[in-house]
Amino acid sequence: MLKLIKNGKVYSPTYLGKKDILIVGDKIGYIVDNLQVPEDFVHMEIIDAKGKYVVPGFIDSHVHISGGGGEGGFKTRTPEIQLTDITLGGVTTVVGVLGTDGTTRNGGNLLAKARGLEEEGITTYMYTGSYQVPTRTITGSVLDDIVLIDKVIGAGEIAMSDHRSSQPRVDELAKLVADARVGGILSGKAGVVNIHMGDGERQLDFIEEIVESTEIPITQFIPTHMNRNGSLFKRAIEFGKNGGIIDFTTSTTKKFLEEGETKCSKALKIALEEGVSGNNITFSSDGQGSLPEFNEKGEFIGIGIGKVTSLYSEVKDAIVSENIPMEKALRVITANPADILKLKDKGHIEKGKDADIVLLDEDTFEIDTVIARGQVMIKNKEVVVKGTFE
């Protein structure tokens, strides 16, 4: 079916001006100033975007789609995510991860959930592995998983500088990253390694040692949670200025912020002011993952849950509260993750790309309409497509 988005101000994320966008099936077929439709033309759905910004569908590159958590025992295992938990946040593409638990959670379950969400209408990818090194895979090999399984684009999330990690040696981590890199080369995928950064004092030491002592480039790593404390955030700025990718986590709690976590919208502003390339910064939500609290002895004392809706909320704050230009703010959840993860049909409003599009109210910047692969998922702030069990 054909759909025509008319009269919207289009950010690709670069500002293109007022344009009409013709959607043909699941692709963007045409972008033009004013597309005139003949009266006797085939049926076409017209979406009036007057008073709206038209932007690429959002990419959330770190979501526990099959559930996460468990740090407080079995009852603290978080549930699987539902479709509208994702689409109400304007997200049309997710990358699934496991996390702390690679025992009662596994790659097969994650892959099945990814396929299920895709059948419900969005686009999904995944990382192979869990916190542990050697990490848990589907085929028995990180390299083989990336080469042989279509949805696997890299490895992660591998825990570093955290009391929950398997405390790997530098050479063990280097071998894992090397396998992911070769897997990416052989399959035409990114082959990156998503690194969970904890509160440990070693911080980025292992990553920087690998970059300095091997031929592995700094861009093979995507360290996440880089805003979790002030000390790590400072290291993140230097890492980004040296050409590394830095990922800030949008899900948080009031307590975490009071204890020194840097709010993502502020982190973006500071990073840009400090000279980090705007192309090297991404946001991810850690959606459906647990937000555990530990005391100074590493003992579990409480837990929350990450929300995918926090992703755009922080981008909106970056635009409205931090006065970051829309083009720069939108990149961290559109073009940047698409380019870094080699998702060639995502992250940009361009002819021939996937028709993943979000309409935002000009006055409030609130999400109005969400289109995933040409299908309207949210319209006028109301859910159109629900998940199978919603």
Q: Is 43 annotated as a binding residue?
A: no
CA–CA distance, 294 with 292 (Å, rounded to integer): 7
Return the ∠ at Cα 328 (arms to 368 and 305), rounded to 5°.
60
CA–CA distance, 300 with 295 (Å, rounded to integer): 7
Q: Is 39 annotated as a binding residue?
A: no
Give 284: exposed, middle or buried? Use CB within 10 Å, 0-12, 13-18, 19+.
buried
Q: Is 64 annotated as a binding residue?
A: yes
Catalytic-role residue among 286, 317, 354, 356: 286
Nearest 10 degrees: Cα torsion 127, 133, 139, 142: 60
User: Coil, helix or strand for 194?
Assistant: strand
Q: Give Cα 227 distance to the centre of its chain.
A: 15
Q: Is 100 annotated as a binding residue?
A: yes
Q: Is 70 annotated as a binding residue?
A: yes
Q: Is 290 annotated as a binding residue?
A: yes
Q: Is 163 annotated as a binding residue?
A: no
Do 344 and 7 touch, CB atoms closer than 8 A? no
CA–CA distance, 58 with 198 (Å, rounded to integer): 26
Q: Is 387 annotated as a binding residue?
A: no
Cis upstream peptide for 13 (omega within 30°):
yes
Cβ of 38: how many Cβ atoms within 10 Å?
6
Active site residue 205: no
Q: Is 196 annotated as a binding residue?
A: yes
Q: Is 348 annotated as a binding residue?
A: no
Q: Is 373 annotated as a binding residue?
A: no
Cβ of 117: how many Cβ atoms within 10 Å?
24
Cβ of 276: how many Cβ atoms within 10 Å?
22
CA–CA distance, 288 with 285 (Å, rounded to integer): 9
Do 106 and 67 touch, CB atoms closer than 8 A? no
Q: Is 69 annotated as a binding residue?
A: yes
Q: Is 309 annotated as a binding residue?
A: no
Hey, which residues are catalytic here?
286
Annotated binding site: 62, 64, 69-71, 100, 131, 164, 196, 225, 228, 286, 290
Annotated binding site for substrate: 69-71, 100, 131, 164, 228, 290
Annotated binding site for Zn(2+): 62, 64, 196, 225, 286
